[in-house]
Amino acid sequence: MGSGWYREAYYPAEARIDSRSVAYLADEIIREATVGVGDSGIRPGIIGEIGTDKPWLSAREERVHRAAARAARKTGLAITTHAVQSTVGLDQLTVFEDEGADLSRVVIGHADSNPSPAYHQAIVERGATVEFDFLGMSFTPLERHGEGRIVELICDLLSRGRVGQILLSQDVCHDSQLTRYGGNGYIYLAETFLPRLRAAGVSDDEIRTMTVDNPRRLLTIG
């Protein structure tokens, strides 16, 4: 389970992002991580998915990012973000860095929505993890026809020794993505995408690192 607030368009009014201090917001995440959410006793294993609606951080989103960074420092939880079709993930990293967060515990999500090797390289050079998680999506022409390019981008990162900073996943967020409704379902990564990586020369050891070891490291509380 994650903790924090998603992105501005989805902030609930009762969260009072505008009227509470960053420290107060951070304390709420810290309490959930150490005591539990509400009276449930259930604690999150990661902070996020937090993110941005646009190719920039709004003032409210920046407050949430700062709160997330402070909470990560206190709790040892990793942070995962929503950063779509732009280089906004680098701006997110700047805020986290300003707050003293450990960038090796940060995942910049939806990297395949911006298939730029320069962007991906800039993320990993700062110590963060880059996540390719639109795998199997088919809403846009880029998603339907751009997977070969994603394989190339992953192989490029692997050739640069970045296997420990790559995550692979599926963002299944609409009914139309389920096999029941004609979508690729939850098995696409394992049954379709990983064989394509192997065909491109990616080793089983590299695949295990990306799909097992890296998630284990990030979901282990630091």
Cα dihedral angle (46, 49, 105, 15), rounded to 10 degrees?
-70
Backbone angles phi, psi at 2, to 5 degrees: -95, 175
**What does the pLDDT look like over 65-92, one tens digit per residue?**
999 999 999 999 999 999 999 999 999 9
What is the model's pTM? Answer: 0.94
Q: How confident is the model at residue 138 (pLDDT cuts 50, 70, 90)?
A: confident
Helix (H, G, I), strand (E, B) or coil at 47: strand
What pLDDT sits at residue 63? 97
**What does the pLDDT look like over 28-76, one tens digit per residue?**
999 999 999 999 999 999 999 999 989 999 999 999 999 999 999 999 9
User: Contact at 8 Å (CB) between 120 and 158?
Assistant: no
